[in-house]
């Protein structure tokens, strides 16, 4: 059996679910635009150029989870999926996932975006296995902290190995391991798999793909 791993933001989605979640919450009045928007823009630029401090960013993002009731957050998340996420999914992304399903392969999403937002997005694609950056919870309430290792850069490799270990698997149990990603931040994991695929790649990843002879695809 093959393992097929997908990044989410700017790979299966035409846009960034984390960045747009913040804009959605500003629109809904849960966070102050004047205090939040500029910092959100800067963090997004840091992510794009590979210099993001992931713990600082997550604690910034997780404040809204900490400061609001779970039921309200879940209701807003449902609105967000319908109003923002569904229009961000290109037909070619659905087609790619379905192609691998038809091949009876094991599918997994690994994303740096928090799992509170992204697990329901995975289910839209019919992918139940998802590794995201996990917000810490105590007795069902978010603390505003990160739980464990963020699924970012080298952290994606570590989280994948932990996920495999939990399932009593190793990377060499699979015939092939595909990884579809758009980002320079995912080069550590792209270099670990047998079949890396640069998908809607940024400039740094595109250059890397050309140098390594990796396939390049675009989903929009």
Q: Which residues participate in catalysis according to the annotation?
A: 7, 9
DSSP H or E segment with residue 164: helix 154-166
Distance set, CA 166 to CA 163, 170, 172, 182, 192 (Å): 5, 10, 15, 27, 19
Query: 3-class SS at 114?
Result: strand
Pairwise CA distance, residues 85 & 63, whole Å: 22
Largest separation between any pair of C-alpha atoms in the chain: 51
Pairwise CA distance, residues 26 & 31, whole Å: 5
Tell me if 122 sits within 8 A of 12, measured CB to CB: no
């Amino acid at each position: 059996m093959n393992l097929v791993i997908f990044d989410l933001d700017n790979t299966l989605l035409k846009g960034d679910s984390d960045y747009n979640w913040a804009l959605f919450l500003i629109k809904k009045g849960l966070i102050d635009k004047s205090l939040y928007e500029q910092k959100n823009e800067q963090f997004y630029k840091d992510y794009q150029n590979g210099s993001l401090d992931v713990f600082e960013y997550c604690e910034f993002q997780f404040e809204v989870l900490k400061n609001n009731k779970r039921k309200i957050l879940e209701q807003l998340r449902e609105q967000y999926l319908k109003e923002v996420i569904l229009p961000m999914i290109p037909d070619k992304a659905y087609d790619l996932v379905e192609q691998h399903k038809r091949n009876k392969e094991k599918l997994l999403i690994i994303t740096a975006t928090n799992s509170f937002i992204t697990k329901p997005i995975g289910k839209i694609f019919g992918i139940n296995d998802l590794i995201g950056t996990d917000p810490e919870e105590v007795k069902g309430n978010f603390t505003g902290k990160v739980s464990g290792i963020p699924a970012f850069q080298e952290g994606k490799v570590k989280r994948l190995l932990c996920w495999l270990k939990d399932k009593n698997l190793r990377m060499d149990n699979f015939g092939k391991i595909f990884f579809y990603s758009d980002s320079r931040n995912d080069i550590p994991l792209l270099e670990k798999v047998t079949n890396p695929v640069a998908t809607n790649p940024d400039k740094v990843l595109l250059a890397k793909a050309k140098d390594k002879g990796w396939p390049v695809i675009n989903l929009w």
